[in-house]
Amino acid sequence: MSERAEDSTTGSRCLLPVSRYSGLSIDQVNFLACQLLALTAAFWFRLYLSPSHASPLVRHAFATLLGMAFLIFCFGWYSAHILTVVAANYLIIIKADINNVHRYSMMTAMGYLTACHVSRVFIFNYGLLSTDFSGPLMIVTQKITMLAFQLHDGMCKKSEQLTSNQKFVAIKARPSLLEYLSYNVNFLSVLVGPCSNYQDYIDFIEGRHVNRRLRQHTTTWSGQNGHHTTPDISPSKTVCRKLVVCSGCMLFFMVVTRSLPITFNVDPDFINQASFLSRLTYSFFSIQAARPKFYFAWTLADAVNNAAGYGFQGLDERGKPSWDLVSNLNIIGIETATSFKTFIDNWNIQTGIWLKTVCYDRAPKHRLALTFILSALWHGVYPGYYFTFITAIPITIAARAVRRSVRPFFLGSRTWKFAYDVVTWAATQLTIGYTVMPFLLLSLDHTLIYYRSMYFYVHIISLLAAVALHRKREPREASKSAPPAQLQPVHSNNNGTLH
C-alpha cells in the first residue's frame, strides 16, 4: 500500500499495521473491522438487548451510539457531514409545513449530498476509494427522503390516494429525535446500508417486526385442527449461509478481481493491438470480476441486520422463513438474468425501492428518464455515472420493445424458449458490461476511449431496435389470454422498478 493512500485516510490509523500486512487500504481495513464488530454486536443485541430484555429507549440509544462511534472511527471529522444533514432534516421534519416536508427534505438532502460529491471530485481528483464518507451519506440521504415521503403520505393523503404498499409503510406521526437518529445512523446500516422503511425499523426495535410479518401468512404457519404452530424463525442459519457467501466473494476478490483490472480496458497498447473480439472478451470478464466486491459488502451488511433479528420478510410458499426484507441483491438473479430489467431488479435492490418510492411512482410523466437521472445524481458527479444511466434509457426502451415484439415468437416450444433464454442471457451480460463500464472508469476521457474502442455498438443497436419496434404491440390474443399478475413469493428480490 502506498504512503499516499495512508495519508488520504480521514479515519483512525490504529489499524495501519493490519493494512500494511494485508495490502488493503487503511479505509478498507477500518470498514471491515467495524462491520465485523457490528456483526458481533448484532448477535449480542438480539440475545441480550431483545425487546423482552430491554426497552425501545435502550435499544434505540445503543444502536445510535454505536453507529456514531463507527462513523467517527472510519471517517474522523468527515462524519460531521452525515450528522449535519441528519440534524438539518430533523428540523425540517418537526418545523416545516407537513404538506411540503417531502419537498424540503429532498432538496436539502440531495443538495447537500451533491455539494459533497462536487467537493470530493476536486479534493480527491478521482483517486478516493469507495469507502469514504460519501457512502454513508448516500445511504442517509435515502433514509431521510424516504421517511419524508412516507410521513407526507401518512399525514397528508387520504387512504384512497395511496397504493396498498404506500398504506403499509405510511408514517402517521412525526418521529422523536432519538427514533430519527436511530433510524438514520444505527450501527446495523450506517456504513453500507441498506436503506429500509422507517416503519419496519421501528417495528423491529419495539419487538413487532416478526409478528407483523407472520400475521400476513397465518394460513401458512397455522397447524391443523386450529392449533398454532410457530416455525423456527431464528436467523442463525441464514446468517451463516450469507457469511459463507461473503468468504467466497472475498477470496474471489483477492485472487481473481485484482488480476483483471478495469483500467486495462482503456490501455492504449491493448486497444491498438487486440482485436475487437479480444477487447469484448476482456471487457466481459473484467466486469464479471468486479461484482464480488459489491456482493461481499452488501451480503455482509445483510448478515449484520439478520444477526440482530432484523430483515424477516415472512414465510415462503413452503412455509419456510425468509430473511431477505433488507437484502440488497440476489446473486443468482443477477448472474442468470435474461433481460436488462431483471438484472437491475436484482442489483442494489433497496436503492431501487427508494427510487420507486420517491420518484418512479410519483413522477407525472417521463418516469423512466427522471428515475435514471435521479439515480445518477445520487451516485455522484463523475461523468461516468451519467454515461451509464443515460445509456441505460435507450437500452431499457429497446429491451422492452424486443421482449414485447420478439419474445412471443419463441414461446411455442421449450427448445426455442431455451435458445431464446441463452441468447438473451449473453446479450444481457454483454450489455450490462458495456453500460456500467463508465461507472467504474469514472472519467470522461476513459469513457470515450472505451466506447470508441467498442464502436458504440450497444448504443447503435439499442437505438435501431427502439426505432424499428416501437410501433409494434403485443397480439391482442396474447394479452387476452395472459394470466392475471400473481403476488410474488416473499423470498423474491424483484421489486419491479428500474434504477
Burial class from Cβ neighbours inside 10 Å (0-12, 13-18, 19+) for residue 218 reads exposed
| CA separation, residue 170 to residues 146, 154, 362, 494 (Å) | 10, 5, 15, 21
CA-based R_g, the chain, Å? 23
Cβ-contact 195, 354 below 8 angstroms: yes
Please name the helix (run of DSSP H) or strand (run of DSSP E) that holds residue 321, with its range, or none: strand 321-322
The number of residues in the chain equals 499
Which DSSP state fits 175? P
Residues 205, 210, 216, 217, Cα dihedral to 10°:
170
Active site residues: 348, 379
User: What cell numbers appear for 444 in the block?
Assistant: 470522461
Chain-centre distance for alpha carbon 130: 15
Hey, how many other C-beta atoms are within 10 angstroms of the C-beta on 369?
Answer: 15
CA atoms of 70 and 37, how far apart (whole Å): 9
Please name the helix (run of DSSP H) or strand (run of DSSP E) that holds residue 322, with its range, or none: strand 321-322
User: What cell numbers appear for 170 in the block?
Assistant: 405510511
CA atoms of 194 and 176, how far apart (whole Å): 22
Query: Which residue has 410501433 as its cell numbers?
Result: 471
